[in-house]
Amino acid sequence: MAEPMLQVREVSKRFGGLLAVDRASFAAAAGRITALIGPNGAGKTTLFAIITGFERPSSGEILYDGADITGEPPHRLARRGVARTFQIVQPFAEFSALDNVAAAALFSRPGESLKAARNEALRHLAFVGLDAQSGQQAATLTLAMRKRLELAKALAMRPKLLFLDEVNAGLNSAEVERATQLIHQLAADGITIVMIEHLMKVVLNVCSRIVVLHNGRLIADGKPRDVTADPAVVEAYLGQQYAQRMRNHG
């Protein structure tokens, strides 16, 4: 059996007296999409920040492609092939969409020429459907466009492992459908994806595995059908109405 692309082992994070993540462990298989779900304040974004180097864990370890990356800073992880998006998108507002993406390419490969970075940026903008907006200031883009710009920036880092933090938040149904298609395509291209997502329709559509956090602790980890039927997950997050709908459609 192939080694997982990502292994999170007994990771905890304490902020003063608050235990935000409590001995969380899970693995993400190479080329698959794993969802990290749970109620607000469950510790999902904190766990993302730990794995991607924006926070150091209080304890535990993280393995990426078999190598220990615990506590490595984001720029070194980017050069290893680890990238992420952020729930609150904050592009360089005065930069064009093109130069926002080119900057991400240069961040992960500092020796690359600006011309090469811009050429690559154009390719990623075309992939997310923003080629027509390449010269437009990021500040003038709609929320849906800024979300796609955020994805293009992450792709410019040529990730093997990509973390998506609520890429569908604030989007309408057509925009969510477009984002879902892009996620499917990325996985088909061999990128391993771990995503925080509140829209269960999206989770069930794209993910082969679901990990559930509640109050910083992992309460479920498995195939979507098994996890959504788990009484602990229903009580902590999904609710009885959702569980009933799932049974009716099962």
Q: Residue 58: which of 26, 84, 23, 6 has the closest Cα?
A: 23
Question: Class of the 1-81+161-250 domain?
Answer: alpha beta
**Looking at residue 215, what is its pLDDT?**
93
pLDDT of residue 235: 86
pLDDT at 244: 59
67-68 β-sheet, strand order:
18-28, 6-15, 59-64, 67-68
- SS3 assignment, position 94: coil
Indicate whether 28 pLDDT > 60: yes
Q: Average pLDDT for residues 23-37, to the nearest whole number?
A: 95
The answer to whether residues 74 and 54 touch, using CB atoms and an 8 Å cutoff, is yes
CA distance 26 to 225: 18
Helix (H, G, I), strand (E, B) or coil at 61: strand
| pLDDT per position as a tens digit, 78-88 | 999 999 999 88
- Segment 135-183, tens digit of pLDDT: 999 999 999 999 999 999 999 999 999 999 999 988 899 999 999 999 9
Q: Render pLDDT for 2-11 as a digit per residue (tens, 0 to 9).
A: 689 999 999 9
Domain boundaries, the chain: 1-81+161-250, 91-158
Count Cα neighbours of 233 within 13 Å in the Cβ-side half-sphere. 23
- What CA–CA distances, in Å, run from 188 to 41, 122, 144, 150? 32, 21, 23, 20
Strand 192-196: give its sheet, edge to edge: 82-84, 161-165, 192-196, 33-37, 209-214, 217-222
Residue 249 — very low, low, confident or very high, per pLDDT cuts 50/70/90? low
pLDDT in tens, 207-236: 999 999 999 999 999 999 899 889 899 888
The mean per-residue pLDDT over the stretch 127-139 comes to: 95
Position 42 pLDDT exceeds 70: yes
**Rounded to an integer, what distance in angstroms lies between the CA atom of residue 96 and that of residue 189?**
27
Residue 95 CB burial class (10 angstroms; 0-12, 13-18, ≥19): middle
Give CA angle at 151 (150, 155), nearest 5°.
120
Structure tokens at 160: 């093997």
Does the structure show a pLDDT above 60 at 38? yes
Token pair in block for residue 138 = 């990021």
> 118 pLDDT exceeds 90?
yes
Q: What's the CA angle centered on 146, arms 169 and 158, to 5 degrees?
A: 100
H-run or E-run covering 164: strand 161-165
